[in-house]
Amino acid sequence: MITSYHRPTQAVINLAAVKENIEQTFRQYPDKEIFAVVKADGYGHGAVAVAKTALTAGVTGFCVATIDEAIQLRTAGLVQPILILGLIEAKDAVLAATYHISVTVAQVDWLKKAAAYLKETDSTLLVHIKVDTGMGRIGFLSENEIKQAIEFMAADDHFDWEGIFTHYATADQEDSTYFKQQEKQFSQIVSALPYRPPYVHSANSATLLWHHGCGNMLRLGISMYGLNPSAGVLSPTQELKPAFSLVSEIIQVKCLPAGSAIGYGKTYETSEDEWIATIPIGYADGYMRKMQGFYVLVEGNYCEVVGRVCMDQIMVRLPRQFAEGTKVTLIGKNKGKEITLQEYAEYAGTIHYEALCLFSSRVPRQYIKKG
């Protein structure tokens, strides 16, 4: 989707907040390295801008989900280690090696297939072994297979074993029984290794906030963006500063008499003379259709979204007349009031991670370094 710059609707990204969130994590873990997780366009914040800011806070690498996301960072001039957390196709091993991108490996067969491609080249592929300790997603299940993978790599110059890691399923929950089980299994596997690769890692945001997780590197995702991974179930052990806000302006205001219908399907009718404003944002921007009945902030007033959310516009009810061009805050602070992403996501019946990923490329990201 083409980015629409000539419209007052913008995601404002506070890079100073990103930096502070990282610095706080370093204060808690002065001896560990941090890789900034910037998959999905930096959780909707903009991968390159977040990655460059993260560097100024001392991170030493990045994590992404796909090879294209990794190449985007390389193309932007970032030379630090980049780990692809998902699995790539064996035929793309050469591409990853050429760009010095580290890949996640979870099957011995994959190594064999990749070896056939790499054989034709003089490049070396950096590999992190993924252990499935209870997520049921990608990863080796048995110690034996992991040993085979390590031996295979040791015997082939086209592989460089750089890391081993796992991922926890319940690090954001109050009950830590399952977490401890996964942690124990991972440390047993790590202790049984013939030798250790440079990186051993297991911590996402929830793990580093509420547990410890073993290893020497942290994969810092959602809490770098200032959001609580547990959605408020557990309180964060550091102050989290949200970096994302969403703003627009009133594009038209009108006073509609009692009994006027608003929007598709005529789902809202004015009960008296009402000031109705139209805001140029809709579900094509990622402002979900189910947000009807939620609020936006205008001059510090919570104003209800009335009528259905359209593809490109929403209507809101104002407490009184406001001028066209008045600022509207859909997420963030406005005159001492705030709508958090958490509240927005909860209203939509989802989590802030998903809500962030849904804000589309039609919304320009505007970067501020203070705020």
Ligand X SMILES: *Cc1c(COP(=O)(O)O)cnc(C)c1O
The catalytic residue among 91, 112, 119, 264 is: 264
Using the minimum distance from each CB to ligand X, give the nearer residue, 55 or 253.
55
Strands 33-37 and 217-220: parallel
Using the minimum distance from each CB to ligand X, give the nearer residue, 127 or 297.
127
The answer to whether residue 91 is catalytic is no
224: left (phi over 0), alpha (psi -120 to 50) or beta: alpha
Using the minimum distance from each CB to ligand X, give the nearer residue, 13 or 206.
206
Give the single-character DSSP code of 292: T
Which residue is associated with the tokens 């505007």? 366
The catalytic residue among 39, 199, 295, 353 is: 39
Closest approach, Cβ 26 to ligand X, in A, equals 15
The answer to whether residue 112 is catalytic is no
Q: What are phi and psi of 145, to 5 degrees?
A: -65, -35
Using the minimum distance from each CB to ligand X, give the nearer residue, 45 or 365.
45
Helix, coil or strand: residue 213: coil
Alpha-carbon gap, residue 86 to 67, rounded angstroms: 9
Q: Which two tokens stand for residue 260?
A: 């006027």
Using the minimum distance from each CB to ligand X, give the nearer residue, 39 or 45.
39
Closest approach, Cβ 284 to ligand X, in A, equals 26
What residues line the site for ligand X (CB under 6 A)? 37, 39, 85, 167, 204-206, 219, 221-222, 229
Closest approach, Cβ 353 to ligand X, in A, equals 7
Using the minimum distance from each CB to ligand X, give the nearer residue, 167 or 317.
167
Give the single-character DSSP code of 192: T
Closest approach, Cβ 229 to ligand X, in A, equals 5
DSSP lists the bridge partners of residue 318 as: 275
Instruction: Give the residue closest to ligand X by C-beta.
Output: 221
Closest approach, Cβ 135 to ligand X, in A, equals 9
E strand or H helix that includes residue 301: strand 301-306
Closest approach, Cβ 323 to ligand X, in A, equals 40
Residue in 339, 331, 334, 333 with CA at minimum distance from that of residue 358: 331
Cα dihedral 280→285→287→289 (10° resolution): 90
At position 18, the amino acid (one-letter code) is V
Scored b (16 or more CB within 10 A) or e, 107-136 reads bbebbeebbebbeeeeeebbbbbbbbbbee
DSSP lists the bridge partners of residue 201 as: 165, 217
Strands 295-298 and 252-256: unpaired
Alpha-carbon gap, residue 63 to 124, rounded angstroms: 19
Using the minimum distance from each CB to ligand X, give the nearer residue, 14 or 133.
133
Closest approach, Cβ 64 to ligand X, in A, equals 9
Q: Which residues are designated catalytic?
A: 39, 264
